[in-house]
């Protein structure tokens, strides 16, 4: 097979179809920037690996709109893929090695596709690659070698699921190169979760991977975690004249595994004390009828987290109904309710062991004062919490004033995010 040069690859993707796909993925105003970004990606691939018949891949980050810390107890969530993504230029190879170079990092990540046991002390990137390959094998799927150059603008350790975005990128490459693109979204997500749980020791649910893999604004019900029910919720935030703004609060949640793990563990402890497995199987009446015993047996924080689950689960249904009925003001009230519940009941806005550092709490306080003054919008902790980012939904005409306030007070960055309809994809499948 004749391998394409960098010039030939650039020419292959300099087409009207490519530009239209970029419009669909990122919006018209982003087309030239994204075209330049993919061209730089291909240039970097050739500099690292030489000639090759490049295929392009993209996997978005995600934003959780509702259902904070519910998926791991078989709950409901409202989430969306976003216009920040992890992209790759990749080429299959005959040798049984996966080799990945990531922009901005000097390391070369390389594994043999038959060495699929967890490695003690292995860093996150290698552990996730190895775990994903092991997941493909575990689920009876095909694997093989490839070279890939990767670039991302999904903020690391920020609650936008940079890890799940990367996981779904690798699954998409293996799915395309060696499985005829036949692995469905649920199994792709499950493989990513398996890699996180077993190879990286991160006790994640399935929300992040599902939202990155699927695309668009979706409601997911995990009552049957082996077959989550997905409902597409078509809604145009832009048409309401509102923007979703992510605020990087300056904290970092990369070392918060114990705090994250405690949330599902405490929720499950309450469920088990009531004779069940997870909080999806309990009721408010059961909690009230056994409250004294539950407080003694599991602790007050665990009970509060279980109450958050019950209320947040119902709130997701209300959010979906509000969007379907175009009841925008009620939807914003529900966002505020979710944020208050996360702060007061779930208690995931700061670490108990580091009360002097409460970056999320400070950002939320400043934002709530601003929104109260303007009598518009809503905000809440975003993602796993404890550190990282918050989500603010506010009128477009207030965005510049708000971002200036955040810069003045916190000296941190803000990002406008949009709903992206494409999940994790091989761009070539849309260009042929």
pLDDT at 251: 62
- CA–CA dist 405, 422 (Å, integer): 33
| pLDDT of 252 higher than 70 | no
CA-closest candidate to residue 281, choices 222, 226, 345? 222
pLDDT at 387: 82
Residue range 6-59+85-202+425-430, CATH number: 3.30.230.10
Cβ-Cβ contacts under 8 Å for 277 (sequence gap 6 or more): 268, 271
pLDDT at 256: 79
- CA–CA dist 265, 152 (Å, integer): 32
- CA–CA dist 231, 360 (Å, integer): 31
Domain boundaries, the chain: 6-59+85-202+425-430
For all residues of the chain together, what is the average pLDDT?
Answer: 93
For the record, the structure tokens of 77 come out as 């969530």
The number of residues making up the chain comes to: 432
Over the stretch 211-245, which tens digit does the pLDDT of each residue have?
999 999 999 999 998 889 999 998 888 889 999 99
Please give the average per-residue pLDDT across 383-404, as a whole number: 92
- CA–CA dist 199, 123 (Å, integer): 10
Answer for the pair 415, 403: CB distance below 8 angstroms, yes or no.
no
In DSSP terms, which residues pair with 77 in a beta bridge?
Answer: 220
DSSP string of 312-375? HHHHHHHHHHHHHTT-HHHHHHHHHHHHHHIIIII--SS-GGGTT--HHHHHHHHHHHHHHHHT
pLDDT at 354: 82
Please give the average per-residue pLDDT across 179-196, as a whole number: 94
DSSP 60: E
CA-closest candidate to residue 276, choices 300, 301, 309? 309
Sign of CA dihedral 115, 118, 121, 122: positive
| pLDDT of 1 higher than 70 | no
Please give the average per-residue pLDDT across 2-17, as a whole number: 91
Cα-based angle 108, 111, 114 (whole degrees, multiple of 5): 170
By the 10 Å C-beta count (0-12 exposed, 13-18 middle, 19+ buried), 361 is classed as middle
| pLDDT of 205 higher than 60 | yes
Please give the average per-residue pLDDT across 330-349, as a whole number: 96
pLDDT at 384: 81
- CA–CA dist 243, 400 (Å, integer): 11
pLDDT at 17: 94
- CA–CA dist 127, 115 (Å, integer): 11
pLDDT at 157: 62
Over the stretch 279-331, which tens digit does the pLDDT of each residue have?
999 999 999 999 999 999 999 999 999 999 999 999 999 999 999 999 999 99
Over the stretch 139-162, which tens digit does the pLDDT of each residue have?
999 999 999 999 999 877 666 788
Over the stretch 78-88, which tens digit does the pLDDT of each residue have?
999 999 999 99
Cβ-Cβ contacts under 8 Å for 414 (sequence gap 6 or more): 245, 246, 247, 248, 402, 403, 406, 407
Query: Strands 145-152 and 97-102: what pairing?
Result: parallel
- CA–CA dist 335, 367 (Å, integer): 14
pLDDT at 123: 75
3-state secondary structure of 247: strand
């Amino acid at each position: 097979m004749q391998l394409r040069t960098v010039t030939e690859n650039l020419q292959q993707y300099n087409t009207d179809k490519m530009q239209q796909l970029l419009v669909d993925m990122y919006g018209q105003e982003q087309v030239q920037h994204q075209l330049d970004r993919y061209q730089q990606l291909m240039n970097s691939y050739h500099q690292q690996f030489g000639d090759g018949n490049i295929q392009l891949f993209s996997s978005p980050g995600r934003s959780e709109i509702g259902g904070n810390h519910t998926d791991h107890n078989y709950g409901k969530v409202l989430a969306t893929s976003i216009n920040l993504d992890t992209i790759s230029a990749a080429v299959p190879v005959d040798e049984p090695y996966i080799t990945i170079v990531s922009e901005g990092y000097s390391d070369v990540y390389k594994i043999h596709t038959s060495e699929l046991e967890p490695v003690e002390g292995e860093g996150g990137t290698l552990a996730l690659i190895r775990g994903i390959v092991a997941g493909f094998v575990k689920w009876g799927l095909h694997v093989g070698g490839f070279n890939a150059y990767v670039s991302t603008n999904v903020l690391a350790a920020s609650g936008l699921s940079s890890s799940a975005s990367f996981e779904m990128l690798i699954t998409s490459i293996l799915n395309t190169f060696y499985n005829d693109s036949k692995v469905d979204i649920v199994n792709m997500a499950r493989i990513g979760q398996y890699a996180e749980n077993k190879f990286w020791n991160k006790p994640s649910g399935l929300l992040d991977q599902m939202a990155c893999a699927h695309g668009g604004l979706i409601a997911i019900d995990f009552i049957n975690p082996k077959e989550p029910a997905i409902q597409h919720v078509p809604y145009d935030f832009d048409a309401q004249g509102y923007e979703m703004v992510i605020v990087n609060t300056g904290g970092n949640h990369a070392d918060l595994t114990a705090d994250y793990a405690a949330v599902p563990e405490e929720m499950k402890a309450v469920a088990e004390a009531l004779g069940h497995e997870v909080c999806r199987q309990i009721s408010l009446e059961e909690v009230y009828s056994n409250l004294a015993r539950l407080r003694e047996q599991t602790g007050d924080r665990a009970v509060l987290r279980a109450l958050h689950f019950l209320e947040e689960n119902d709130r997701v249904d209300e959010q979906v109904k509000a969007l379907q009925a175009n009841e925008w003001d009620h939807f914003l009230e529900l966002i505020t309710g979710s944020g208050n519940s996360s702060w007061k009941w779930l208690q995931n806005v700061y670490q108990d062991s580091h009360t002097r550092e409460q970056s999320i709490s400070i950002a939320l306080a400043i934002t709530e004062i601003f929104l109260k003054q303007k009598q518009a919008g809503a905000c809440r902790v975003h993602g796993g919490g404890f550190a990282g980012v918050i989500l603010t939904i506010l009128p477009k005409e207030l965005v510049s004033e708000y971002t200036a306030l955040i810069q003045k007070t916190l000296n941190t960055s803000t990002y406008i995010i949009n709903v992206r309809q494409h999940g994790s994809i091989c761009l070539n499948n849309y260009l042929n």
